Amino acid sequence: MIFCPYCANQLGLVEGPSGNKWGCPTCPYEFPLEKRYVERTYLKRKEVDDVLGGEDSWKNVDSTQVDCPKECGADRAFFMQIQIRSADEPSTTFYKCCNMECNHQWREN
């Protein structure tokens, strides 16, 4: 973005018979373009936090009898309940298969 040095408004591209230029929408300031103008800014991506707390969140959880949807043959899964929506909505139950080879995770409302 380029700003006007007189009134500090953002300059816009103005196409005319004499060529393209940057022009201020409120005052007569113009900045001629003599060559192609390219400016690129790469933003640094922010690190995303694990909502469930990562692997440490599954350390001290209980298990219950439920069949794994991946059909690995396990009939038990670890579970925890978390309120992820507003208070008037029910808690969401997260499951993790007890079979260490499968380790499948799923959730139910």
CA 31 to CA 51: how far, in whole Å? Answer: 49
Tokens 């038990």 belong to residue = 76
* pTM greater than the 0.75 cutoff: no
Options 3.60.21.10, 3.30.420.40, 1.10.3720.10, 2.20.25.10; CATH of 1-41 = 2.20.25.10
- The 10s digit of each residue's pLDDT in 9-39 is 999 988 878 778 889 999 999 888 887 777 8
98 has binding-site annotation = no
Higher pLDDT, 49 or 41: 41
Fold category of 54-108 in CATH: N-terminal domain of TfIIb (2.20.25)
